[in-house]
Structure formats: structure tokens, C-alpha cells
Amino acid sequence: MKRFLKIGLGAKGRRPSLVEKLNQTETVAEAETVAEEAEAKAKEPLSVLEILGLIQKRDLLVADEHIIELEAECEAADAHPPTPEGEANKDGSRKAKDVALLYEALQKELWSVLAEALASKSAPTPLEMMVRVIDQEEEADRKWTEAKVEVPARRIGGRPRAMRRRWAEAVGELVQQRLSRCLEGQGRPTGPLVAQMDRLAKAALEDLCTVKFHLLHAYPKDYQAFGVYLCGYHQGLAHHLAQAVQRSLTISELYFVLDWNSNIYQREVLGRAEISSLVKGHDLGPLLPPETQFDLEEECIAKVKVSTKTKAFSIYLSTILGYFEKTIFN
């Protein structure tokens, strides 16, 4: 019975040898070393050329993360007291120039995305990425401001970037370019004033519809994106109308400008059913300043008076000539 129990217990497992234990320990240590090296490599900052490469590939969010890290290095170097050799200061100055270069390249690509989204009238996936970059920059600005308040004596670099304000400015510049382009012919606006303003109104309405139906969902509500685009087109149209009244206008052109400013713009652009619901609540003001409107009205009245006198004189002269013709030749 004892023998049967011993057999049932089975053979004892073999203990690992000392060499095997050492080998296992070395394997674990090697794996940990490889993992640490991989982690260190992942945290290693990218070079300027590598970040530029990310920008060119439009991996803009990752590129911006690395630019923010590089800028933080500049601030850290700037916080240290200058050394007699000045090497640290030189390195910090070089990195600051690199940061400026990278931000310039990043912004250029961001505004290219902005322009392409409005022109393509398609699903704005790159536009959503642009918004994420702007939000990331705004967060970096917030942290920079908090750090400055906490350590006022610290020398801190070029923040804030105010990327959302720059975005709004970029929208305004883009709108002006698009409106100018629809008037270009041989490098300058062509066609009568009525046709020019008609093309501008149609271009503005078409783009604002694109913003509403294709681009608006890419922006968070607090961006108030439609209002930014709307103000851009309002200012763009006001600019072109102001340019038009700089030259001498005929009576019919003066009538048209006054009517466009007071009625046509509201009817053909702002009041259109496609966008009118989003236009409400935006105090855009008149296209032309009140003093310009008044001057144009006065000019129109004066020209009408001159024209009336001229016509009256012309009728009188025609009557006299007719009388002499009848008297002399008959």
C-alpha cells in the first residue's frame, strides 16, 4: 500500500540548474534594457529637418507637439544665467530661430488646408486636424500664461501664439483673395460695375453656403466659425464697394451703388434662405460708412440737377435752332 501511494505521487520535478537560473535572469535583464532603450528613443526630440518632414507630410498635429517641445527647451535654456563662454546662449538663440522657422512652415500649411477646404467643398478631414492643432496651441498658450503668473521673474520666450486669432485673420485674407480672383481679368477688375458686384455677390453666397453645409461641423461651437467667415465676406464686399466709388461715377452707377448698399446686398446675399438663419444675430453694419453714403447721395443729386439743366438748355437750344432754320430757309 505504501508503495502504491509513492507511485501515485509521481516523480518529483527537476530543479533548474544554477546556469539556467542565470540565463533566465540575463534574458529578463536584456528585455528590460531593450524596452528602456526603445522608450528613451521614443522620447528623444526630433531634429528640425524631421519636424519639417512631418509638416510636409501634413502630420501637423504631431509636428506641432514637437515644436512645442523644442520651444520649451528654448525657454529652459533662456531661464539659465549666461555663461562666460556664451555657448548656452548661442544654442538657445539657434533653437529660437529654428522654432520661428518651424512655426512659419506650420502656419503656411495650416492656411493651405483652410483654403483647400473652402475651394474643394468636400469632407474637411484635414480641416478637423487644423482645428486640433489650433486647440493644442491655445492650450500651450494657457499653460505659458499660468507659468508666467507663477514665476514672474522668469525669462520666458515668444508665447502666446494666439493661433485662433491668427486663424480668424487668415480667414479674412482668404476671403479677400477669393473675391479679388473672381474679378480678375488681365490683372485688374474688368466689366461694368453692375456686373462686378453681381459676380461678388454670387461668389460670397456660394462660399457661405459651402461653409454652412460642408465646413461648419469641423469647428467647435465656441469658434463661431460661420460668423468669422460672414464678417470676412462682409468686409471684403465693403472693401470692393469702397474702391468702386473712388472713381468718377455716372448717375446710373451712383443710383446702383446706393441701391446695392441699402437693398440689393440684403436681398441677394444676407437675406437668402440658404444662410439667413445663420446671419441673424450678427451686427454687420452697413457696407459703406454713413458719411460716404451721404456724400454719394449729394453727388447724385448734384449730377441730376446738372443733367436736368443741360437737358433743358439742350431743348431750348434745339427750339431756337429750329426757329432760325424755318425763318432763314423758308
d(CA 165, CA 141): 12
Q: pLDDT for 165-220, tens place per residue?
A: 999 999 999 999 999 998 876 445 556 899 999 999 999 999 999 999 999 999 99
d(CA 94, CA 102): 12
Q: pLDDT for 225-244, tens place per residue?
A: 999 999 999 999 999 999 99
DSSP 189-246: E-S-HHHHHHHHHHHHHHHHHHIIIIIGGGS-GGG-HHHHHHHHHHHHHHHHHHHHTT
Note the pTM of the prediction, 2 decimals: 0.77
pLDDT at 12 exceeding the cut of 60: no
In degrees, rounded to 5, the angle at the alpha carbon of residue 173 between the alpha carbons of residues 167 and 178 is 125
- Count other C-beta atoms under 10 Å from residue 305's C-beta: 10
Contacts by 154-162 with C-beta closer than 8 Å and gap 24+? 154/79, 155/78, 155/79, 156/75, 156/78, 156/79, 157/71, 157/74, 157/75, 157/78, 157/96, 158/71, 158/96, 158/99, 158/100, 159/71, 161/103, 161/137
Q: pLDDT for 121-156, tens place per residue?
A: 776 789 999 999 999 999 999 998 888 766 554 545
d(CA 129, CA 107): 13
